[in-house]
A and B are shown apart, each in its own frame.
Chain A
Amino acid sequence: MSALASAATPLTRPAPRPGGLLRTVARTHRPALVLSALALAATTVALVWLHGLGGEARAGDSACATPPTDRLPSCAAVEAITADETYANGLAVIATVLSYAVFPVAAWAGGALIGRELENGTAQLAWTQSVGPARWLAAKLAVPAALLTAGTSGTVLLNVWARGDGDPDLAGDWYYPDVFVSTGPVAVAYPLAGLAFGALAGLVWRRALPAAGMGLAASLLLHTLLERHREELWPAVTRVAAGSIELPRSAFQVSWDTATPNGVHITRATFHPQSHYWPLQYVETGLLLAVAAAATATAFALLARRLP
C-alpha cells in the first residue's frame, strides 16, 4: 500500500509547476525584491508629490513685471515662490535615477542572480532537481524582466505625468541625456539590456564579483556609447542661411559651422527638432532590445555548450 502510494505520487505530478520555480527565484532574491519595491515606492511618492507641486512651480517661473500690470504679477511675488526650484531639482533627481537604473540591475544580475549561484554550486544543485538548466536560466531572466518592465513602465508614465507640459525651464529640455532616457520606452529597455548583460557576464565568469564588475562595466560602456552617438540615430535636419540662424526653441543642436566665402557670412546648422523625439526613442529602444536579445541568446548558447 505504502509502496503503491509512493509510486503514485510521482505520477500525479509529471511536470513541476512553473509557479514553484518562479516563487523560488523571488524567494532567493528577497532582499533585491524588497529593495526594488522600496525604491519604486519612494519614486512613486516623490512623483505624486512633484505633480502636486507643478502648478505652484509654474507660477514661480512665469513672466512678471515691476510694477505689476493687469496681466503680469509683480516680480517680488514671483521671486518669493520657491516651489519652482524644488520641482526642477526633484524632477532632475528622478530623471537621473531612472536613467542610471541599468547599472545596479546589471551588477545584481551578474553577481547575485547568476554568478554567485554558479560559484557556490547552487545552480548545479538546482539542475539535479526537476529543473533543467535552460528552464532555470529562463526563469531567472523572465521573473526579473517582467518585474523590471512593469516597474519602469509605471515610473516612466508617472514621470511624464509629473512633468506636466514639460516646460524646459523647469523639467529640462527633451534632449538632455537623463530627460531623454527617463521619459520614454528607452527607460524600459535599458534595465532589460543590463539584466541580459549581467546574466551573460555571470555565465562567462561563473564567479559573483568579477561577473558583477563586468556586467556593470559592459552596461556603462553601452550607456556612454549611446549617449555620445544619440544624435546619429536618426537623420538630422540641416539649415543653411546667410547671416545667422535662429533655431527653434528646444532644438537638439548637432553642429554649427560658420564660413565667410567671398565676404558672405554663411551659417550652417544641423539639429534635431522636437518632432524627432519619438523616432530617436524608437531607434534607441530597438537597438537596446536587440542588444539584450543577442546577449540572452549568447547566454543560452553558452549554457548549452557548457553542459556535459
Chain B
Amino acid sequence: MSAVTAGASAAVKESRAPHGLVPALLRVHRSAFLFWLMLTAVCLGALLWAAGPGADAALAEYRALGCDRPGPGPDCHFSGSAVGRHQLAVAIASGLVTLLPVLTAAWAGGALTGREMENGTAELAWTQSVSPARWLAAKLAVPAVLLVAGTFAVTLLHRMLWSSPKNSLDRLMGWYEWHDDRVFEINGPVATAHTLAALALGVLAGLLLRRALPALGVAVLAVVSLVWVLDELRPRLWPTTATVTSAGSTPNPPGLVVEEGALTATGARVPVPECWGELDCPAESGITGYYAVYHPSSHFWPLQLMESGIALAVAALAVVAAFRLLRRRTGAAV
C-alpha cells in the first residue's frame, strides 16, 4: 500500500516538475527579477512621462519662447529646462535599453550559470527530478520570456512617442535621426534581439568556463564586441539607394549616408574637390554633379529585420552549443 502510494506520488511529482522548476528559478534569482521589474518600470515610467506631462511642458515652453513662429525670435533657444527634462527622460529609457545586453550577459554568465557550475548547485539540481537539458531549457526560457516582454513594451512605447502625430513633438525629438544607434535599436526588434543574444552568450560562457567571475567577464566582452560589430555592419545589411544632384546644389539625403562624393562628366565617382562651395568650382574642377549613397527611412524595416536575424542566429548558435556542451559533459544523463 505504502509502496503504491509512493509510486503514485512520484508520478504526480514528475508531471508537476516544470511548475516547480520555474518558481524555483524565480526564487533563486529574485533579486535579478526585482531588478528587471524595476528597470522596466523606470523605462516605461520615463517614456510615459515624456509622452504626457513632459511633452506638454516642453511644448508650452517652446511656444512661450516663440520658437513655433516662422523665423523664431531672438529668445528662442532650444535648450530650455522643460525641453531638457523631456530629453533626459527619453535618454534614460534609451540608455538603459542600450545597456541592457551588457547587464543581461553579465548576469547570465555570472549568476545564472557560472555560479551554479562553480558551487556545484547545478550538479545537485540534476540529481533531483530535473534533467540537465530541462534545467538548461528553463534557465534560457524563463529569462527570455521576461526579457522579451519588458523590452518589447519599452520598444512599443518609444515608437509611440517617436511617431506621435498629435503635435510638434518631432521638433522635440528633432535632435535625433531614425538611424542614430540608440534610436534605431530601441525603435524595433533589434533591441530585443541584442538582449536575447546576450542571454544565450552569457549562458554559454557560464557553461564553458564553469566559474562565475571569468564567465561574467568573457560574456560582457563577447556582447560588447557583438553589438559593436553589428553597429559597424548596419549600413551594409541592405542595398543602398543613390541620389544625384546637379553641380549647382549639393545632395541632402534624408537618411543614413554611407558614401558621398562628386561626379565627373564621364560619370566617374571622385572625392568632393577642394574648391567645393565656390561659384566657379564646377567649371574649374570638371565636376558635373554630386552623389550620395544612403538608406532612406523606408529602409528602416529591412535593416531592422536583417540585424535582428543576425543577432537571433548568434543566439541560436550559442543555445545549440550550450546544449551540446551540456550533453557532452553529462554523458547519457540528458
Contact = CB atoms under 8 A, between A and B. Distances in A.
Interface stretch (B135-143, B211-219, B307-315, B317-325): B211-219
A198 interface: no
A210 B35 CA distance: 12
Contacts of A185: none
B274 A208 contact: no
A76 B213 CA distance: 53
A162 B111 CA distance: 41
Given A31-B214, A112-B213, A209 B115 contact: yes
Contact of B274 (A31, A79, A112, A209): A79
Contact of A208 (B31, B213, B275): B213
Contacts of B213: 111-112, 116, 208-209, 212
B216 A212 contact: yes
A75 B274 contact: yes
A208 B212 contact: yes
B189 interface: no
B274 A66 contact: yes
Interface in B112-127: 115
A237 to B, nearest CB: 23
Interface in A208-227: 208-210, 212
A215 to B, nearest CB: 12
B216 A76 contact: no
B111 A209 contact: yes
B110 interface: yes
B58 to A, nearest CB: 21
B216 A209 contact: yes
Interface string B202-228: 000000000011101000000000000
A79 B274 CA distance: 9
Q: Which of A75, A79, A209 has the most CB of B within 10 A?
A: A209
Secondary structure of the A contact surface, majority rule: helix
Secondary structure of the B contact surface, majority rule: helix
A112 B118 CA distance: 13
A209 B275 CA distance: 59
Interface residues of A, number: 12
B110 A209 contact: yes
A226 B282 CA distance: 52
Nearest to A74: B274
A66 B275 CA distance: 9
A76 B272 CA distance: 12
A215 B214 CA distance: 17
Q: Which of B31, B212, B214 has the most CB of A within 10 A?
A: B212
A210 B216 CA distance: 12
Contacts of B274: 66, 75-76, 79
Nearest to A108: B213
A208 B31 CA distance: 15
A76 B115 CA distance: 60
Interface in A22-80: 31, 66, 75-76, 79
A210 B111 CA distance: 9
A288 B212 CA distance: 30
A66 B110 CA distance: 60
Interface string B246-290: 000000000000000000000000000011000000000000000
A208 B213 CA distance: 8
Contacts of A116: 212-213
Nearest to A66: B274
A269 B58 CA distance: 26
A91 to B, nearest CB: 20
Contacts of B275: 66
Interface string B30-66: 0100000000000000000000000000000000000
B119 to A, nearest CB: 9
A111 B110 CA distance: 11
A19 B115 CA distance: 32
B66 to A, nearest CB: 15
Interface in B175-220: 212-214, 216
B212 A209 contact: yes
Interface in B288-306: none
Contacts of B31: 210
A66 B281 CA distance: 13
Interface in B50-95: none
Contacts of B111: 209
Interface in A198-244: 208-210, 212
A292 B135 CA distance: 43
A167 to B, nearest CB: 23
Contacts of A66: 274-275
Contacts of A208: 110, 115, 212-213
Contacts of A111: 212-213, 216
Interface in A92-146: 111-112, 116
Contacts of B212: 111, 116, 208-209
A244 B161 CA distance: 39
Given A209-B212, A209-B213, 20 more contacts: A31-B214, A66-B275, A75-B274, A76-B274, A79-B274, A111-B213, A111-B216, A112-B213, A116-B212, A116-B213, A208-B110, A208-B115, A208-B212, A208-B213, A209-B111, A209-B115, A209-B216, A210-B31, A212-B213, A212-B216
Interface of A: 31, 66, 75-76, 79, 111-112, 116, 208-210, 212
14 contacts: A66-B274, A79-B274, A111-B212, A111-B213, A111-B216, A112-B213, A208-B115, A208-B212, A208-B213, A209-B111, A209-B115, A209-B212, A209-B213, A210-B31
Which 10 residue pairs of A and B lie closest in terms of their CB atoms, listed nearest first? A209-B110, A111-B213, A209-B111, A76-B274, A112-B213, A208-B212, A208-B213, A209-B212, A75-B274, A209-B115
